[in-house]
A and B are shown apart, each in its own frame.
Chain A
Amino acid sequence: GAGVSQSPSNKVTEKGKDVELRCDPISGHTALYWYRQSLGQGLEFLIYFQGNSAPDKSGLPSDRFSAERTGGSVSTLTIQRTQQEDSAVYLCASSTLLGTGTNSPLHFGNGTRLTVT
């Protein structure tokens, strides 16, 4: 498929365990974003990448959260020592630079639903 792919689609983990969420952006998209949606909340920005660098990490809730992107493509979001408040849907999106110098609208994956028990 040509869309943004996220895995796993669902993850149940015990409090205190580490989890890794994966995002495969659309091929050729230079910008990659991570958001999360908690129950009843909007889309909370976490981090975004231009290529492999992350100009803005301001949305990461704590130092338990980290993300990396390699080869300008796949990204992983890691949550260490998970807590129950980390339960949410984690959404990845990608975009590309248009000829106008602006980015195309974001294309989202279907998300990973994380449940911490």
Chain B
Amino acid sequence: DQQVKQNSPSLSVQEGRISILNCDYTNSMFDYFLWYKKYPAEGPTFLISISSIKDKNEDGRFTVFLNKSAKHLSLHIVPSQPGDSAVYFCAASAIKRDDKIIFGKGTRLHILP
């Protein structure tokens, strides 16, 4: 049973436009959500996180939105740059239960020149 779902395996966006990556989750106990970015042959690197007490967190070009009622979160990147081309993983955990972090299958983002 996949608790964290990224339904789009890939996404192509023009350089300079907004990239929107989506993620859905099923476990209502999740209270902490993260986005990671991964380049080939490297480990994932942390991008941004959000606690369930918030609905938005912004860090530079990256903004994460959380809709708890829909069990949905999204990552917005604006403006998109060539270096943003990578695989993006959504992750979630139940911090209050000191639970493990569950990752989605990832979305490959291509930034087009």
* Chain A residues in the interface with B (C-beta under 8 A): 4, 33, 35, 41-45, 48, 50, 55-56, 58-59, 91, 93, 102-103, 105-111
Contact = CB atoms under 8 A, between A and B. Distances in A.
Interface stretch (B44-52, B60-68, B69-77): B44-52
Interface in B19-70: 32, 34, 36, 41-46, 49
B63 to A, nearest CB: 17
A44 B98 CA distance: 18
B103 to A, nearest CB: 4
Contacts of B91: 43
Contacts of B49: 105
A56 B100 contact: yes
A109 B43 contact: yes
Interface of B: 6, 32, 34, 36, 41-46, 49, 89, 91, 95, 98-106
A33 B95 contact: no
A27 to B, nearest CB: 17
Given A42-B89, A55-B98, A107 B103 contact: no
Nearest to A93: B43
A7 B24 CA distance: 34
Contacts of A41: 105
Contacts of B32: 102
Nearest to A4: B43
Nearest 3 A/B pairs, CB to CB:
A108-B43, A42-B105, A43-B103
Contacts of A44: 103
14 contacts: A33-B100, A33-B101, A41-B105, A42-B6, A42-B106, A43-B44, A43-B89, A50-B98, A58-B100, A102-B32, A108-B45, A110-B41, A110-B42, A110-B43
A107 B100 CA distance: 14
Nearest to B35: A105
A42, A103, A107, most chain B CB atoms within 10 A: A42
B108 to A, nearest CB: 11
Nearest to A44: B103
Given A45-B102, A48-B100, A59-B100, A107 B42 contact: no
